[in-house]
A = this chain, B = another copy of it.
């Protein structure tokens, strides 16, 4: 195979993962980044050969990706669905839907513990910026939202989060790498918005929450543009490689 052997997904995050999970994470990144184009048909046997594992973990991986709506398991082969601008918007719809629901629960309970946790994560994010560690920043960003969601202890909301998290994670990873390399200044804006989010939870103020969401939309738009750009870049790079 002539493909690049570099992994898009941070290898150190996979220390305790099974082969199936590793393949799923890597394939997910390749699909979301556009490296594997929408419409591609994935073969279990070819993937098994490519990743030097048997079909069993490949099957596991494909099942996972199918449940995340990244591929469609058909009679013959798995068809890559991929992520278009529409899908990105839809993922954020879901995140907003969940987080607004969570907020309504949070205003009814003691949020001291969560706020403390969130502040800790925020400080970690600042350290990640300081050391220009995009992956670490992305991980903390995901953890930030996960912490909020888990705070209300709602098993089926958590379930939805678990199902959307991997895609969110990959997306944020790619987006943050882009920000760290090209739009470094945006990071402080992102941090500011997280601060606002914490403030909303702390004061249980819906207006601030809305404000935070509003700013988040801007971030989303930015991320969409970025992803689009990165995909364009990638496909251009591929074209040149083929020549």
Please list the residues of chain A having a beta carbon within 8 angstroms of any beta carbon in chain B: 60, 63, 67-69, 81, 86-87, 90-91, 93-94, 96-98, 100-101, 103-105, 154-160, 162-164, 206, 209-210, 213-214, 217, 226-227, 229-231, 233-234, 236-237, 240-241
Contact residues in B for A162 (Cβ distance below 8 Å): 67
Residues of B within 8 A of A206 (CB): 233
Minimum CB–CB distance for A60 against chain B, Å: 7
- Of the residues B157, B159, B209, contact of A68 by C-beta under 8 Å: B159
Which residue of chain B is the closest to A91 with respect to CB atoms?
B156
Bound: A94/B96 CA distance, A: 14
Given A93-B154, A214-B237, verify A69-B100 contact (CB < 8 Å): no
A157 lies within 8 A of B229 (CB):
no
- Determine if A234 and B159 form an interchain contact, defined as CB atoms under 8 angstroms apart: no
For A213, give its contact among B100, B231, B237 (CB under 8 Å): B237
Question: CB within 8 A of A159: which of B69, B96, B227?
Answer: B69
* Chain B, residue nearest A212 (CB): B237
Chain B CB within 10 Å, residue with most, of A67, A101, A154: A101
**Can you list 19 A-B pairs with a CB-CB distance of less than 8 A?**
A60-B63, A67-B163, A81-B155, A87-B155, A90-B154, A90-B157, A93-B156, A96-B234, A97-B98, A100-B231, A101-B226, A104-B230, A159-B164, A160-B163, A206-B233, A210-B237, A213-B233, A213-B234, A213-B237
- B214→A101 contact, CB < 8 A: no
Residue in B101, B164, B217, B227 whose beta carbon sits within 8 Å of that of A227 in the complex: B101
Quick check: B154 and A230 within 8 Å, CB to CB? Answer: no
Contact A236 B217 (CB under 8 A): no
User: Judging by beta carbons under 8 Å apart, are A233 and B100 in contact?
Assistant: yes
A230 contact from B103, B226, B233, Cβ within 8 A: B103
